[in-house]
Amino acid sequence: MFFEKTLDKRSKKVMIDFVTGHYRYNTMNSWNRSTSYAHNIKLHKLGLTSEQLNAAYDMLQTDFWDEIDQPIADFTSEMSGRYTIGTNGRSSGYLVLYNSKYELTGHKSHCRTCGQRNYRYVYTPDATAEGVITAAVIARDYTIGNRCGACGAEGEYGRVNYTLPPKRLSVYPGKSIDQNEEFSEWSMSELRNHVELVRRFDQACDEIRDNFIELIRSCKVVEEVVMIPKTVKRIECCHAS
Ligand SMILES: [Zn+2]
């Protein structure tokens, strides 16, 4: 436990001190003045040994983030999408707790061949079985046939309606969390739940830090020259032979 703290949740004062004393950072820019619970994850704040620090600076030159950010997805899904964690600050040196929400993307069908999503349903004969679909609705919300506009696949390889409508996570970076909150008016159970949320955030930040340390322990950065295919324009003349 590096960021996470143990505390006595029987004491209202201890819990209030914990949430009000927690490190905070801007959710957007400093001029926006919204802040939320945060942790500074700049390398010199991670409690690394000098040997780890050298490896960490090497790692910083690579796209390593995707290798270690799984705890954010776990946290977000545990919170049913109501909270998530993002990075903020110059060089993304801070992990910040954000308000978020799952929202429907509005897509109704998708292609089984290329995955392309579509905002219309595929019309099937049983769509009218309920007797509520009028010709106007069909014209507006449905396509006749299931040909994919992107790859042209149809029939059993073409578009099919979603059983579960797809969702995406919308993050609200402008919203502050608990800024100027009067915790003394909260009930013990409200406070406990809230402390658990913040501690779960701290725990996720610890997991990210652990992942990073494991990454620099077990992997090293190697340099290689890559050949990048490039499209160029050249002149081709049709000379009479
Ligand atoms: Zn397709």
Cα-to-centroid distance, 67 and ligand 1 (Å): 30
Ion ligand 1 — residues with CB < 5 Å:
111, 113-114, 116, 148, 150-151, 153
pLDDT computed for residue 133 by the predictor: 72
Residue 102's DSSP bridge partners are 169
Query: What is the reported pTM?
Result: 0.82
Cα-to-centroid distance, 155 and ligand 1 (Å): 11
pLDDT computed for residue 32 by the predictor: 83
State whether residue 132 is helix, strand or coil.
coil
Strands 142-143 and 121-122, by their bridges, are: parallel
Least-confidence region, from 31-35, 113-117, 160-164, 194-198: 31-35
Read off the pLDDT of residues 52-86 as tens digits, 9 standing for 90 and up: 999 999 999 999 999 999 999 999 999 999 999 99
Least-confidence region, from 29-33, 169-173, 193-197: 29-33
pLDDT at position 12 over 70: yes
Task: Answer yes or no: are the C-beta atoms of 75 and 83 closer than 8 Å.
Answer: yes
107: closest CA among 151, 167, 157, 170? 167
Confidence of residue 124 (pLDDT cuts 50, 70, 90): confident
Read off the pLDDT of residues 143-182 as tens digits, 9 standing for 90 and up: 989 999 999 999 999 999 999 999 999 999 989 999 989 9
pLDDT computed for residue 126 by the predictor: 65
Task: Answer yes or no: are the C-beta atoms of 35 and 176 closer than 8 Å.
Answer: yes
Cα-to-centroid distance, 168 and ligand 1 (Å): 21
Place of tokens 């620090």: 53
Task: Answer yes or no: are the C-beta atoms of 72 and 92 closer than 8 Å.
Answer: no
* Cα–Cα distance measured from residue 175 to residue 61, given in angstroms and rounded to the nearest whole number: 32
* Per-domain boundaries in the chain: 12-101+171-218, 109-161
pLDDT above 90 covers a percentage of the chain that reads 83
Cα-to-centroid distance, 71 and ligand 1 (Å): 32
Place of tokens 């390398």: 43
